[in-house]
Amino acid sequence: TSSAFLECFRNNLCDISVHPRYYGTHSFRRGGCQWLAVVCRWSFRRICDWGGWAESFDNPGTLFKYLLSWVDNPLERREDFFNPDRPPIDPCTHCGRTCTCA
């Protein structure tokens, strides 16, 4: 269940000394939608079934928000998403430059 997963995930965060208060399962759902669309090439209807949005289709904007966001960077290479050694490309939220100070 999602609650069991969340408990295990938060325990893992505690194991690596990261406070779990700010972490939930929502980013996994968003990441899952993007992975299913881009990598697995699932149809939008199937993604809606997976996400639990297929009952009424009364709000198609929900799926769109999960697939694309203003914070996405289409210029970032996929293999660099989790590369800790990649050069910074997004402006720092602290100083506004592309640095690692934040």
Question: According to the 3-state scheme, what is the secondary structure of the chain?
Answer: CHHHHHHHHHHHHHHCCCCHHHCCCHHHHHHHHHHHHHCCCCCHHHHHHHHCCCCCCCCCHHHHHHHCCCCCCCCCCHHHCCCCCCCCCCCCCCCCCCCCCC
State if pTM tops 0.85: no
Per-residue pLDDT tens digits for 63-86: 777 787 666 666 677 777 778 787
In a domain, 88, yes or no: no
In a domain, 18, yes or no: yes
In a domain, 82, yes or no: no
- Who has greater pLDDT, 28 or 75? 28
Domain of residue 58: give its range. Answer: 1-71
Domain count, the chain: 1
Share of the chain above pLDDT 70, in %: 73
In a domain, 76, yes or no: no
In a domain, 45, yes or no: yes
